[in-house]
Structure 1
Amino acid sequence: MADQEPMSIWTRPERHERSGPGRRPGYSREQITRTAVRIADAEGLEAATMRRIACDLGTGAMSLYRYVPRRDDLSDLMIDLVMGEIELPDGPSGDWRSDLTLLAWRIRAAGLRHPWLIGLLTSRPTLGPHLLRVHEFALAAFDRMGLDIDDITGFVGMVDDYIHSAIRREIGWLEEASRTGLDPERWKRDYMGPYVRQVVESGAFPLFSRSVVESRTAHLAPDERFRHGLDRILDAVAALVPTLRSR
Structure 2
Amino acid sequence: MPASRASRTSLPRSTVTREQIIEAATRIADEESIEALTIRRLAADVGSGAMTLYSYFRNKEEILDAIADHVLGGFTLPPAEETEPRAVVQNLASAFLRMMREHPSIVRLFTTRVTTSPDSLRGAMEAVVGRLREAGFEGREAVQAYGLIVHYTLGFASYQAPRPWGKPDLPDVEELCRQRTHFYSALPLAEFPNLVSLAGAVTTLPSDEQFQFGLDCLLDGLLRRIQAN
**Shorter-normalised TM range:** 0.7 to 0.9
Q: Please point out which of 195, 199, 205 is paired with 2:191.
A: 199
Do the aligned partners of residues 64 and 224 (structure 1) sit closer, same or farther apart at CA in structure 2, a change above 3 Å counting? Answer: same
Superposition map of 1:146-157 within 5 A: 147-149=138-140, 151-157=141-147
Question: Where do 5+ consecutive residues of structure 2 fail to align?
Answer: 1-12, 168-173
Residue 229 of structure 1 aligns with an amino acid whose one-letter code is G
* Count of residue pairs brought into register by the alignment: 210
Aligned with 2:112: secondary structure? coil
Asked if 1:141 corresponds to 2:141, the answer is: no
CA distance in 1, matches of 2:199, 2:179: 20
Q: 2 CA distance for matches of 1:146 and 1:43?
A: 39
| CA deviation map 1:50-75 (0-9, x unaligned) | 11000112222132111122322211
Provide the rounded CA distance (Å) in 2 between the counterparts of 1:146 and 1:62: 49
Deviation per CA, 1:22-78: give whole Å up to 9, x if none: xx9532221101111222233222111111000112222132111122322211221
CA RMSD of aligned residues (A): 3.5
Q: Please tell me whether residue 33 in structure 1 is matched to residue 22 in structure 2.
A: yes
Q: Distance in 2 between matches of 1:211 and 1:195?
A: 6
Please name the residue that 2:215 is paired with: 230
Gaps of 5+ in 1: 1-23, 202-208
Q: Which whole-Å CA distance do the structure 2 matches of 1:198 and 1:116 have between them?
A: 40
Asked if 1 retains the 8 angstrom alpha-carbon contact of 2:182 and 2:199, the reply is no
What whole-Å deviation, never above 9, does each CA across 1:142-181 have from its counterpart, x for those lacking one?
Answer: 32536333x432232122111111111111212999xxxx
Equivalences for residues 73-222 of structure 1 within 5 A:
73-88=62-77, 94-128=83-117, 129-143=119-133, 145=136, 147-149=138-140, 151-174=141-164, 184-195=176-187, 197-201=189-193, 209=194, 213=198, 219=204, 222=207
Sequence identity (%): 26
Per the alignment, do residues 198 and 67 of structure 1 end up closer, same or farther by CA in structure 2, a change over 3 Å counting? farther
**Mean Cα deviation higher: 84-93 or 26-35:** 84-93
Give the TM-score normalised by the residue count of structure 2: 0.75
Following the alignment from structure 1 to structure 2, what is the Cα–Cα distance between the partners of residues 132 and 57? 29
Q: Deviations over 1:179-198 (max 9, x none)?
A: xxx95414422444433745
Q: Measured at CA, do residues 210 and 136 of structure 1 come closer, stay the same or move farther in structure 2, by a change above 3 Å?
A: same
Structure 1 or 2, whichever has the larger Rg, is: 1
1:239 to 206, 224, 227: 224
Does the C-alpha gap of structure 1 residues 26 and 114 become closer, same or farther in structure 2, counting only changes over 3 Å?
same
TM-score under structure 1 length normalisation: 0.70
Corresponding residue for residue 71 of structure 1: 60
SS of the residue corresponding to residue 69 of structure 1 reads: coil
Match of 1:48 among 26, 37, 40: 37
